[in-house]
Amino acid sequence: MRVGRAPVNRALSSGLYGHDLTKGLHVTVAPTRKPPAPLGWVLAVTAVAALVVALDQLVVATALQTIQRDLRASMAGLEWTVNAFSLSFAALMIPAAELGDRIGRKRAYLLGLIVFALASAACALAPNIGLLITARVIQGAGGALISPAALALLTAATPPHKRGAVMGIYAAVMGLAVVGGPLVGGLVTEGLAWQWIFWINVPVIALVLPLTHAKLTETKGAPVRPDIPGLVLAAASMFCIVWALVRSGPAGWGTGEVLGTLVGGLVLLAAFVAWELRAPQPMIPMRLFTMPAFTAGNVSALLLTASLFSTVFFLAQYLQMSLGNSPLGSGVRFLPWTVALFVIAPIAGRLQDRIGPRWLISVGLFLQGVGLLWVAVEAQRHDGYPSSVAALVVSGIGTSMAMPAQQSAVMASVPTASMSKAAGTFSAVRQVGGVLGIAILAAVFAAHGSDRSPREFADGFAAAMVAAAILALLGAASGLLAPGRRPAHTRPRTVEPTGDPAREELGVG
């Protein structure tokens, strides 16, 4: 039985659902015969599976050199091993959330867990790089089902007065993926085999599946008509652009393959923008980009993620290929860069309420760029890892300053009724940024170095780090368009109820 907006609002007014109408909250919950599970169980079940998905974006970083040797993969093959996951995850996340609204979020979550587990097993069993890339695409699709459904189920189960604290815990668990991804990948690769970075997902999901069935309560949202043309155009344009960048090294910029796919990708991107401007229910509302703060937050987030993910991709290989570290040793050497997330990000989150996001974004990305330039200089000098530790700390501090401020700039710039679409756009932009960053740095690497010898790899790595620094510095410049601290009466106001609270946290409209 579906519960419509008017009956729910009347129920809310009477206190039946325990929500406050003044907060514009609305939830459509499928009837169930069993009482809701304790919030702790819901948080544990959803966070563990979402952490597995987040880890799989970064856990392969320190295993790439081992995968390259075992499967005799090229640099382009390694790029697609990372990008295949991110592309399918980014392209399918919003449609997957819409599917959850239609069939039930618990059902979508269970389906995503099964798909992710099967794809993980396929990754571990892949006899060549082509099948590994294919399995990674399917993994990304499973992750796209898991992540939005997990967040929606958790939000629906959380009372409004506890939502901030619970979401803080959930975000901290996701932060473990950034800190622990390279380290876990190195530990598993060296202690067992690279295949176990995928096999380990299977028993974890096997444990989560029965708990999901037993503990979670089914919920449904108010589904909207999916923007299929927008989805196809966005995915096709990103694929063509990334293909051109990946192939620019081995094929050359002047070839018909590279020029044709690049031009085709740009044409498809223009067609996507044109369609979104006239679509009745666009996947990404282009009118939001007329707001300077919204644009600044998204552009700076795209550039930060492009710089961040590409640096993870190449730094892990540099530490092994040029400096001779083991996979585990490489993971440990990431810590000066990534551990700042736990120290600086909470401080930056509190500070942005006092000074606004503009200077946190700009100064943070400036520090990230300076740190990466410093890393590039040390790599060009072949001075080894110790000389780069301070540079990694500076870069990590900058990244941790900018991340929370970017989300604040985006979400504070739109009225409450648009927050779902704004958050969905922000999430998709970050995923696309990671894909484009790896492709851009790979093209720079191919033009200045190679993986034929440790010294040639170091030369290519140094050039790639200069490119990553430029991306960060461009992000710092775009951050200047973000707002400073504004008086409360100038901030966007609630203009109408937003609908489902789970969708508010999820970021889909």
Write down the domain spans for the chain.
36-219, 228-280, 290-509
Task: For residue 103, count other CB atoms closer than 10 A to its CB.
Answer: 14
Give which of 32, 57, 30, 283 is closest to 152, Cα–Cα: 30
Among 2.40.30.110, 3.20.20.450, 1.10.10.60, 1.20.1250.20, name the CATH number for the domain at 290-509.
Answer: 1.20.1250.20
Residue segments in the chain with a per-residue pLDDT below the cut of 50: 1-33, 487-509
Longest Cα separation, the chain: 72
Lookup result for tokens 């508010």:
504
Specify the pLDDT at position 256: 84
Tokens of 174: 């996701």
Domains 36-219 and 290-509 share a fold: yes
Mean pLDDT over each residue of the chain, to the nearest integer = 77
Specify the pLDDT at position 99: 78
Specify the pLDDT at position 261: 87
Specify the pLDDT at position 10: 35
Say whether pTM exceeds 0.85.
no
Specify the pLDDT at position 149: 80
Specify the pLDDT at position 479: 86
Lookup result for tokens 């096999």:
199
Asked if 412 contacts 491 with a C-beta cutoff of 8 angstroms, the reply is: yes
Specify the pLDDT at position 164: 53
Specify the pLDDT at position 367: 94
Specify the pLDDT at position 117: 93
Asked if 95 contacts 226 with a C-beta cutoff of 8 angstroms, the reply is: yes
Specify the pLDDT at position 385: 83
Q: How far is CA 175 from the centre of its chain?
A: 11
User: What CATH fold (topology level) applies to the domain 36-219?
Assistant: Growth Hormone; Chain: A; (1.20.1250)
Sign of CA dihedral 114, 116, 118, 120: negative
Distances (CA, A) of 391 to 186, 377, 467: 22, 10, 16
Distance, in Å, from the CA atom of 358 to the CA atom of 345, rounded to the nearest integer, reads 15
Specify the pLDDT at position 40: 75
Lookup result for tokens 């444990």:
207
